[in-house]
Amino acid sequence: MRRLTLRQFRVFEAVARHLSFSRAAEELHLSQPAVSMQIKGIETILGLPLTEQLGKKIFLTEAGREVLHASRAITARLDDLQANLAQLQGIDSGRLNLAVTSTVNAVATGILVRFRGRHPGVSIHLGVSNRESVLEQLAATRLDLANMGQVPDGLELEATRFMDNPLVAIAPPDHPLVRKKSISIEDLAAESFLVREAGSGTRGAMERFFAARGLEIQSSMEMSSNEAIKQAVQAGLGLGILSMQTLEMELALKRLAILKVEGFPIMRHWYIVHRADKRLSPVALAFKNFLLDEATTALSLQAQS
């Protein structure tokens, strides 16, 4: 019986992840016929179909799910092998696969710049996604580490808190509430809000905060990024609740104002996360320790100021 190749496993994993031959081809820099040919080759060797098409959608068969499970396990073992080899060479020749949620991106980018300054030979791949996408990548073992603000229960993840993440209510500078020295939660809840998409950690924190007080926020518009919300708030389309860490430029330029609301800020935290069953490469471990050291230093400086 012919054996499957690593190339075939990688191609199938991309198809299974995207449930699309064309998107898998784009990711792998191959033509769609070449991807289809690789999948057909696997099916010929195994004697079973791996995908089925219903309308315009592709689904995995039971055999396809088995092959996907195997391909992920093989990819994880190869990553471990590369990590061990990198350890023999030293961390300056390694690679770091990191994903961050969009809220933490501003902080993570600055830390990455300083990390690269210390380890210029490290190759870094940074993906910025929403929370659900980051969790999907962690589940598929495509990441070394992830930065996020809310770690779900039920997944085998190891999470270490490294920084506070206060959420504040923002408005355009000419909004009537800006002039108030104290705003009640009820008055704030009466306003219309621009919110992140369902599944966003920031949106979840907002909804839990108001629900705990028997209130429900009024959403005027749903947006997929913090930048879009900031621009819409500046335009007067509604209020927003965002991480204070993402507002430095807008506050300095007086394009936005933080509202003085009772019970605010909503205190959340940022975590560095990885799969509990994944052995961190020397590069990933070095970055995790660097991140925690940076956070400790920042807290120490705040205490002294």
State mean pLDDT over 152-161.
82
Residues of the chain with pLDDT > 70: what percent? 91
One domain, residues 245 and 171 = yes
One domain, residues 282 and 261 = no
One domain, residues 159 and 197 = no
Residues of the chain with pLDDT > 90: what percent? 30
Question: Within a domain: residue 1?
Answer: no
pLDDT at 36 over 80: yes
CATH number at residue 263: 3.40.190.10
User: What is the pLDDT at residue 260?
Assistant: 95
Place of tokens 């991807």: 35
pLDDT tens digits for range 164-203: 889 999 999 999 999 999 999 999 999 999 998 887 788 8
One domain, residues 200 and 251 = yes
One domain, residues 178 and 260 = yes
CATH number at residue 53: 1.10.10.10
CA–CA distances in Å: residue 249 to residues 129, 196, 253, 257: 22, 20, 6, 11
For residues 271 and 149, is the Cβ–Cβ distance under 8 A?
Answer: yes
pLDDT at 299 over 50: no
**Number of structural domains, the chain?**
3
**Residue 54 pLDDT grade (very low, low, confident, very high; cuts 50, 70, 90):** confident
Question: Within a domain: residue 100?
Answer: yes
d(CA 128, CA 252): 25
d(CA 5, CA 105): 37
**Which residue range(s) make up the domain with 213?**
164-268
Range with top average pLDDT, 63-67, 118-122, 218-222:
63-67
Question: Within a domain: residue 203?
Answer: yes
Q: Which of the listed residues 72, 102, 120 is the one where a domain comes to its end?
A: 72
One domain, residues 115 and 237 = no
User: What is the pLDDT at residue 216?
Assistant: 87
One domain, residues 221 and 242 = yes
Question: Within a domain: residue 253?
Answer: yes
One domain, residues 55 and 105 = no
Question: Within a domain: residue 189?
Answer: yes
One domain, residues 95 and 149 = yes
**Residue 304 pLDDT grade (very low, low, confident, very high; cuts 50, 70, 90):** very low
One domain, residues 105 and 140 = yes
pLDDT at 302 over 60: no
pLDDT at 87 over 70: no
d(CA 206, CA 266): 8
pLDDT tens digits for range 223-278: 888 889 999 999 999 999 998 888 888 999 999 999 999 999 999 888 999 988 88
Question: Within a domain: residue 121?
Answer: yes
For residues 51 and 18, is the Cβ–Cβ distance under 8 A?
Answer: no
One domain, residues 274 and 159 = yes
Instruction: List the beta strands (DSSP E) in the chain.
Output: 51-54, 57-60, 95-101, 123-129, 145-148, 157-171, 192-196, 218-223, 240-243, 257-258, 266-275
Question: Within a domain: residue 114?
Answer: yes
User: What is the pLDDT at residue 133?
Assistant: 83
Q: Which of the listed residues 72, 101, 130 is the one where a domain comes to its end?
A: 72
User: What is the pLDDT at residue 303?
Assistant: 40
d(CA 173, CA 291): 35
Question: Within a domain: residue 252?
Answer: yes
One domain, residues 260 and 176 = yes
User: What is the pLDDT at residue 90?
Assistant: 58
Q: Model pTM?
A: 0.62
